[in-house]
Amino acid sequence: DQQVKQNSPSLSVQEGRISILNCDYTNSMFDYFLWYKKYPAEGPTFLISISSIKDKNEDGRFTVFLNKSAKHLSLHIVPSQPGDSAVYFCAASALQGAQKLVFGQGTRLTINP
Amino acid sequence: GAGVSQTPSNKVTEKGKYVELRCDPISGHTALYWYRQSLGQGPEFLIYFQGTGAADDSGLPNDRFFAVRPEGSVSTLKIQRTERGDSAVYLCASSAGPNNEQFFGPGTRLTVL
């Protein structure tokens, strides 16, 4: 069973516009959520996270929104830049198992100049 | 030193052979994780070490997979009697503690022919 789902395998956005990546989860025990970015031949790198006690966390061009009732989170990138082109993974963990991250399938974001 | 390193970067083996994959974590990081990423999927948790001991090995798919971390630093993931379905990128991550950010290595791409 896929506990964390990213239903869009790919997304194409014009440079300067907003990119919105979505993620849904099914396990109500998850209370910590992260976004990772991955370039080819490299490991995932941490981007931004959010605890379930918040509904928004912002870091520069990146904002993560959490809707607990809908079990949905999203990552907003604005403005999008060509260097943002990568695969983005949503991940989740439960407090007591914070070391065990459950990842979604990833969304390939392409920023077009 | 630098980030998490993994060797080899690529490993091609024949079905039924034994392989070892190595992970050098960030110096001083007590927590170490192994994940496996199959094509088109997100990383999937395999095992987590805190120090020398495996604190959570619930993700190991079967008893052909084994991992060690004898001195609490370098870890080796061992796969016996490899099968074609074991082909994947094996990712290692480390963190300063179990609830801290996980830093990923570039992965070892294992291909079983």
Banded model confidence at residue A20, pLDDT cuts 50, 70, 90:
very high
Nearest CA-CA distance, residue A35 and chain B, Å: 11
CB A20 within 8 A of CB A86: no
A105, two tokens: 């399938």
A75: which strand partners?
A: A21, A64
Q: Are strands B10-13 and B108-112 parallel, antiparallel or unpaired?
A: parallel
Q: Choose among B31, B42, B105: nearest Cβ to A103.
A: B42
Distance CA A17, CA A66 (A): 21
CB A54 within 8 A of CB A48: no
Q: Choose among A42, A100, A103: nearest Cβ to B106.
A: A42
Query: Measured on CA atoms in the order B75, A106, A12, A52, is the torsion positive or negative?
Result: negative
> Taking CB atoms and an 8 Å limit, are A91 and B55 in contact across chains?
no
What would the pLDDT profile of A21-73 be if each residue is shown by its tens digit? 999 999 999 989 999 999 998 999 999 999 999 999 999 999 999 999 999 99
> Taking CB atoms and an 8 Å limit, are A100 and B42 in contact across chains?
no
Consecutive 10-residue averages of pLDDT for chain B (113 residues): 91 98 96 95 95 92 96 97 97 87 95 97
